[in-house]
Amino acid sequence: MVLLVLSAIIISIIYSILKPKELLPVFQPAEVNAELVDSTLHYKKKYHTIAPFSLKNQNGETITEATYEDKIYVADFFFTTCQTICPVMTDHMAQIQQELKNDAEVLLLSHTVQPEVDTVTQLKKYALEKGVNDEKWNLVTGDKEQIYNLARKSYLAAKDAPYSPYELIHTENFVLVDKKKRIRGFYDGTQPEAIVELLKDIEILKNEEDH
């Protein structure tokens, strides 16, 4: 009996050692749909990270990359008057906020693509309507060129609208960013099953970074 128990323990230990650890990919610009990436980055195959930024949130506070230091976060692009995919995306981001409300390791970040309309005041009104937790989720506005560059050169998550300078066609993408500011996943923010996958991947990423 003792030998059987001991054998089971040994087999369990060997299995845990040999079982491959689940890891998420690290996305580079060259691996992403070219429509979503600035042309200067189409051939970049390594070392891609989110660039430094400085924007204002719904409370008029300055939000920078330092706000997300040592955090995993989910980013997206939207605008408050959008009547197509944005309401669904915002509802799903609110769902993620609720699921992770007690997890200080994970934050959310939504960038407006219409900063000329989405002022701090407008973002605050929207945040109150949507139940945004200020400690968890920043809705940000600011310089249009900076937001354009973040979308196309950092998060690789929006299409260019070439008819006007720094105009974007935002997409449904939610972008998962790790503590090293690397992109670890893209998810369709309009699809419930993608949100389930995103939440699962956040746990995988947390386990990866804890070890």
CA 62-66-68 angle, to 5 degrees, is 100
Please state the residue numbers annotated as binding site.
82, 86, 170
Please state the residue numbers annotated as binding site for Cu cation.
82, 86, 170
How far apart (Å, rounded) are the C-alpha atoms in residues 198 and 50? 19
Question: 152: how many CB neighbours lie within 10 A of its CB?
Answer: 22
How far apart (Å, rounded) are the C-alpha atoms in residues 23 and 204? 7
